Amino acid sequence: MHLSTAASLSLPSDIIGYVCLALLIAIFFLVLRINCKISVASNKANNSNRSNSSTAASVGAEHNVEVPSGTPFEEFLNEDPTRQSLSKKEQFAAYRDWRSQKGLNWK
- The mean pLDDT value of the chain amounts to 79
Residue-range definition of the domain harbouring residue 51: 1-60
64 pLDDT higher than 80: no
Question: Based on the domain organization, do 56 and 20 belong to the same domain?
Answer: yes
Question: Based on the domain organization, do 71 and 38 belong to the same domain?
Answer: no
- Distance (Å, rounded) from C-alpha 49 to C-alpha 56? 11
Domains identified in the chain, total number: 2
Which string of DSSP letters, residue by residue, matches 54-79? HHHHHHHHHHS----TTSHHHHHHHH
pLDDT at 70 (0 to 100): 75
- Distance (Å, rounded) from C-alpha 26 to C-alpha 65? 58
pLDDT at 9 (0 to 100): 59
pLDDT digits (tens, 9 = 90+) for 5-54: 555 557 788 889 899 999 999 999 999 999 988 888 888 877 777 666 55
- Distance (Å, rounded) from C-alpha 28 to C-alpha 36? 12
Question: Based on the domain organization, do 2 and 47 belong to the same domain?
Answer: yes
100 pLDDT higher than 80: yes
Residue 6 CA: distances (Å) to CA of 11, 13, 20, 84: 9, 11, 21, 93
